[in-house]
A and B are shown apart, each in its own frame.
Chain A
Amino acid sequence: MATADTPLLELRGVSKAFGAVQALYRVDFEVRRGEVMALVGDNGAGKSTLIKSVVGIYPFDEGEVRYDGEHVNIHGPRDAAKLGIEVVYQDLALADNLDVVANMFLGRERTRGGLVLDESSMERSSRETLDSLSVTTLRSVRQTVAGLSGGQRQAVAVAKSVMWDSRLVILDEPTAALGVAQTRQVLDLVRRLAERDLAVVLITHNLHDVFEAADRITVLRLGQRVAQLERSQTSQQEVVHAITAGTLDHVPGMEDVGRVEA
């Protein structure tokens, strides 16, 4: 049974290979309710592959996925959504020509009688959600997304992800293209998600973001987990060291050599 300490999402020894390329090798990963778990690593470390596999876009080759303490098989984004897992992708996945409300309900429109869009109800809910996350910079929820700044777009994408009784929100590089003030706003938003008792995975390159918003840090390097750290008990130096020179259990192409210091 799930207890308060059980991680909401737990990966045990998951691997994924694309042909000869071992993208993930026996990775353990976990995130609890109400915490922000940062997932960091250099380019090609396997962050994106890990996330795409969690939501079932690529199936894991081996290993176990446990959700809320139970073994689960996720075969696609729909399965993931059913479990309450939402991903906010780097390129945002918003339709520029639609307004904020239409985007927040895209693919899950509310209707009356199963046919006619219930615009009033959707607009009200969109506003309530944005308001509950203290997103106050929007001119109107009826303006098209193309007219929003990068930070506003990110806020809309995040707000969209929490509308659906989601329990786990995965954010892929949410501050990548943002200025200082907007980064600040988005990181505040990330903290508020955790305060709502959601489990949050924050994928990022930016160590400033990590130390600003994360509770714990998982470091991937060359497809393997090289560290899991508590933010309060670590330093930027330690994280940088793990990212660039973390200890690998397994070196690609040297399977028989065993444990090697990289």
Chain B
Amino acid sequence: MTTERPVDADPGLDPTAARVEPVAGQALADEVSGANLSGYARLWWQGIRAGELGSLPIILGIGVIVLVFGFLDDTFLTERNFTNLLLQMCGIATIAIGVVFVLLIGEIDLSVAFVSAVGGVVMTLLLRPDDPGWPWWAAIAFALACTTAIGFVQALVITKAGVPSFVVTLAGLLIWSGVVLILTTQASSVGTIRIQDETVVGIANDFLSATAGWVVAGLVVAGYALVELQNARTRRASGLYAKPVVVMALQIVGLAAVTFAAVWYVNKDRGVPKVAVILLVFLVIWSFIASRTTFGRHVYAVGGSAEASRRAGINVDRVRIAVFMISGFMAGVGGIMLASRLRSVATNTGGGNLLLLVIASAVIGGTSLFGGVGRVVSALLGALVIASIQNGMDLLGLASGTKFVITGLVLLAAVLVDAYAKRRRAARGVL
């Protein structure tokens, strides 16, 4: 799962070799005071106060949700419901990954919900037995090619014609909802098409065995630990500041505790959903691309200052186009997950509040609407909050109207936190 992570193999940087002395004359106060645990904690707290909130609001949010719904409804915290919650979350989180990239460059994609529906519908139509009866992999590949192409076309209009992404993707929202309607009503008089391919249905309805679940959890923790240790090793070998060992150990133990607890809990029910593993793979790949590659760096740069990026020789339009293609691709993947979960597509696929939930997930997860700030993993955290709230409200049997109002208020709260954090950052001059 984490084999894509970089492995530092620079022979010149052997940690046992003579230490490269840190450059003299630099007053690097942070690094000196951050060298032990209490110093690190103090810096972290300073960061929070200055508006570098990271994942803190979301962790507090999840805590509140667990307390409130756990108190109001006995079934909310059961292993069965936790597994259901994971299943409900995966489609949203997958689409939200693409939206995170779009938000990072300071744009918006309002078409993702219906683009995801196009992906689901195209795949389903191609899978119909004997009509044309494509194998599952070909149908999925073609569906993803379609949604990626949609992203490409929308990005061309945005970059070449200079129309704001808000307007272009709003038009896209209408166009692709129409296309979904046309395709589904033409293919079926009742407007619902069932998926009969077992592999595709299995995407969101199959589970790993208990053992396989433990193996995945082990891989996740081991992979994370390996990457962290390698990083620290290279940095120390180069004479650069690295996180204190205690902090690193605490983070690894923390991740291990959460991961193994989650696997233990879902194993008491049906096991780790396959779709969750697929989401995990995409999370790791896209996190890697965003944080460790030149392309990812340019995405953040374009979001921070398109003009500075242009002057630095970055092809800004190409970055924008690639990001909208990622958005289209991930929407397609999410659409396939959602279709698989329902074992069908229908005229209303991609409608309802899907768009709202996806964008809310990205924003609640901590991706700034102002561009340039956020992480891919925020798609997962935000979707967890959103899906928990939906799930809890369903359990309580709230009316649709009430659910919309509450979801809207949660989104508003997240945006206010973002705006407040940005003000704090600006006040202290830290963005």
Contacts and interface: CB of A to CB of B under 8 A. Distances in A.
Interface of A: 77-78, 81, 89, 91-98, 102-103, 106-109, 111-112, 115-117, 120-121, 123-124, 127-128, 130-131, 134, 136-149
B22 to A, nearest CB: 8
Contacts of A81: 313
A78 B313 contact: yes
Nearest to B289: A115
Tell me which of B28, B307, B371 has the highest count of chain A C-beta atoms within 10 A of its own C-beta.
B28
Given A97-B303, A139-B28, A140-B30, A120 B13 contact: yes
A95 B309 contact: yes
Contact of A98 (B23, B240, B301): B301
B42 interface: no
16 contacts: A78-B313, A93-B312, A95-B300, A97-B304, A98-B304, A98-B372, A108-B313, A120-B237, A131-B23, A131-B25, A136-B26, A138-B26, A142-B30, A146-B425, A146-B431, A147-B428
B26 A109 contact: no
B18 interface: no
Contacts of A137: 27
A106 B10 contact: no
Given A95-B305, A147-B428, A117 B234 contact: no
Interface in B1-27: 6, 8, 10, 13, 20, 22-27
A106 B312 contact: yes
A112 B10 contact: yes
Contacts of B292: 116-117
Contacts of A102: 297, 300-301
B429 interface: yes
Contacts of A131: 23-26
Interface of B: 6, 8, 10, 13, 20, 22-31, 234-235, 237-241, 292-294, 297-298, 300-301, 303-305, 307-309, 311-314, 371-373, 425-426, 428-431
Contacts of B372: 95-98
Contacts of A115: 293-294
B313 A138 contact: no
Given A115-B293, A128-B23, A107 B430 contact: no
Contacts of B294: 109, 111, 115, 117
Contacts of B239: 124
Nearest to A114: B294
A39 B19 CA distance: 46
A95 B430 contact: no
Contact of A77 (B6, B313, B431): B313
A124 B26 contact: no
Overall SS of chain A's interface: loop
A124 B238 contact: yes
Given A112-B6, A143-B30, A106 B314 contact: yes
A89 B311 contact: yes
A138 B371 CA distance: 25
Given A98-B301, A131-B25, A144-B430, 18 more contacts: A93-B307, A97-B371, A97-B431, A98-B297, A106-B314, A107-B301, A107-B312, A107-B314, A109-B294, A115-B293, A120-B238, A131-B23, A131-B26, A139-B28, A140-B30, A141-B28, A144-B431, A149-B429
Contacts of B431: 96-97, 144-147
Tell me which of A94, A106, A138 has the highest count of chain B C-beta atoms within 10 A of its own C-beta.
A106
Tell me which of A116, A139, A142 has the highest count of chain B C-beta atoms within 10 A of its own C-beta.
A116
A131 to B, nearest CB: 5
Contacts of A93: 305, 307-308, 311-312
A120 B430 contact: no
Contact of A106 (B28, B234, B240, B308): B308
A208 B372 CA distance: 38
Nearest to A105: B297
A189 to B, nearest CB: 14
Given A112-B6, A117-B292, A146 B309 contact: no
A123 B24 CA distance: 14
A81 B314 CA distance: 13
Contacts of A94: 305, 308
B265 to A, nearest CB: 35
